[in-house]
């Protein structure tokens, strides 16, 4: 049982480049989330999808877009990467809020 799978695990980009972070879950969960984690800042919610077909902004959505492709997959896109977006990105899923979330093992993104 893979749980939540994120790809890629590591990525280095140049300022202005774009890329998409992929996330897939095999637990038939309804809700999916994207977080970023910076040293000393804790997890901050970027976007979430409470159910298939819906997406909502979280605490720090600027510079990002998301797509809930189907029930399994939720992608995060950086259209024009900036050094301030250097971070560790985590995807998570849950059957429904307020159930606990299951996390992927993260994508380490560096933007030069």
Partner 1 sequence: RKEVEQDPGPFNVPEGATVAFNCTYSNSASQSFFWYRQDCRKEPKLLMSVYSSGNEDGRFTAQLNRASQYISLLIRDSKLSDSATYLCVVNIMDTGRRALTFGSGTRLQVQP
Q: Does 19 contact partner 1 by CB under 8 A? A: no
What is the tally of helices (H) and strands (E) in the chain?
0, 11
- Residue 86 Cβ vs partner 1, minimum distance, rounded to whole Å: 15
Residue 57 token pair: 């902004």
Residue 58 token pair: 């979280």
Q: Does 90 contact partner 1 by CB under 8 A? A: yes
The CB density around residue 85, as the number of other CB atoms within 10 Å, is 19
Q: Does 58 contact partner 1 by CB under 8 A? A: yes
* Residues binding partner 1 (CB under 8 A): 31, 33, 35, 40-43, 45, 48, 50, 56, 58, 90, 97-106
């Amino acid at each position: 049982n893979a749980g939540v799978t994120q790809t890629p695990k590591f990525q280095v980009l140049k300022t202005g480049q774009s890329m998409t972070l992929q996330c897939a879950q095999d637990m038939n969960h309804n809700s999916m989330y994207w977080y970023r984690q910076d040293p000393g800042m804790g997890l901050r919610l970027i976007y979430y999808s409470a159910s298939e077909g819906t997406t909502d902004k979280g605490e720090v959505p600027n510079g990002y877009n998301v797509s809930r492709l189907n029930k399994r997959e939720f992608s995060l896109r950086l259209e024009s990467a900036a050094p301030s977006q250097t971070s560790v990105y985590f995807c998570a899923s849950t059957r429904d809020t307020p159930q606990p979330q299951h996390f992927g093992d993260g994508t380490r993104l560096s933007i030069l």
